[in-house]
Amino acid sequence: MVRRAVVAGQFYNGTEASLREQVKKYIDERAKKEEVIGVLAPHAGFMFSGEVAGAVYSRIILPETFVILGPNHTGAGDPCAIMTKGQWQTPLGEVEIDSDLACKILANSKNLKEDEKAHSYEHSIEVQLPFLQYLRKEFKFVPICLSHLDLATCRDIGKAIAKVIREAKKKVVIVASSDLTHYESQEEANRKDKVALDAVIKLDPEELLNKVEELRISMCGAIPTSIMLIASKELGAKKGELVKYMTSGETSGDYRQVVGYGGALIK
């Protein structure tokens, strides 16, 4: 199965040449690169969040495989949906799913289900791929699309991912795809997003989920981020680093209703 790009020409440029040029302007070729276990990266239209995503991917030594966790915005399919076979297409080409890794993750989780439907029209994982394709010619990935889950389910999935990565004889980076506060004032977004990002940098998934609920932070990828943190800690992560934070207001000039974007490294 080839999963066709669904937001090409909308969230990012729709032709190979124009997309390559678009991604290029967000990549810092001079950035110091380092080994990481996980990252947090946004998934809005590139004109709004590309600067943050580019800053994150510019900083990491790219492995041969990624596990990409994204929120389910559409509501379609299983709440814990993994794809274990096929390719995903963008204007920069096709990326193959790492079937071996994906099948092992599925087998080690009580909650994950094989489900293509949840992925069919979901953009949160797709928009990560052009950055990776620009920076590395050959790689594979495992896509996991997640709805609202409790902490116990997050722990199950996070530990399954970590166990399989630990046993794999290759380097894997876990990507959590998430935007932060949606459609509040710049001041409110800055306040709430700092709380969420502080929990990420402290590697505290429980605090992240608690604060998102308590302060009503409309962070769409809180569940993927929590799972990434759980898996990263299982794999020995000791610290987080905020790479970049900005809001859509810095692009649009409208600070009355913004969306927040944060990028972080977990190492």
Q: Which amino acid is at 252?
A: S
Indicate the number of domains in the chain.
1
- Average confidence (pLDDT) over 88-100: 98
Q: What is the pLDDT of residues 168-212, one digit of tens each?
A: 989 999 999 999 999 999 999 999 999 999 999 999 999 999 999
90 by DSSP, 3-state: which? Answer: strand
As a residue count, the chain comes to 267
Looking up residue 250, the CATH number of its domain turns out to be: 3.40.830.10
| Alpha helices (H) along 59-128 | 99-108
**If residue 258 lies in a helix (H) or strand (E), which one and from where to where?**
strand 258-266
- Average confidence (pLDDT) over 84-103: 98
- Average confidence (pLDDT) over 218-232: 98
- Are 174 and 233 in contact by the 8 Å Cβ rule? The answer is no
Task: Report the number of secondary-structure helices (H) and strands (E) in the chain.
Answer: 9, 12
Nearest-angstrom CA–CA distance, 208 and 196: 6
**If residue 250 lies in a helix (H) or strand (E), which one and from where to where?**
helix 249-252
Nearest-angstrom CA–CA distance, 204 and 197: 10
In terms of pTM, does the model score above 0.85?
A: yes
Q: What is the pLDDT of residues 230-259, one digit of tens each?
A: 999 999 999 999 999 999 999 999 999 999
Nearest-angstrom CA–CA distance, 186 and 183: 9
Bridge partners of 82, per DSSP, are 114, 144
For residue 92, what are its two tokens?
């920069």
- What's the pLDDT at 169? 84
Q: What is the pLDDT of residues 29-62, one digit of tens each?
A: 999 999 999 999 999 999 999 999 999 999 999 9
Helix axes 16-24, 46-58, angle to 10 degrees: 60
Tokens 């600070």 map to which residue?
Answer: 255
The DSSP secondary structure of 6-55, one letter per residue, reads SSBTTTB-SSHHHHHHHHHTT--TTSPPB--SEEEE--S-HHHHHHHHHH
- Are 243 and 42 in contact by the 8 Å Cβ rule? The answer is no
Q: What is the pLDDT of residues 113-163, one digit of tens each?
A: 999 999 999 999 999 999 999 999 999 999 999 999 999 999 999 999 999
Contacts with 108 (C-beta within 8 Å, 6 or more apart), sequence order: 159, 160, 163, 164
Q: Which domain holds residue 11?
A: 2-266
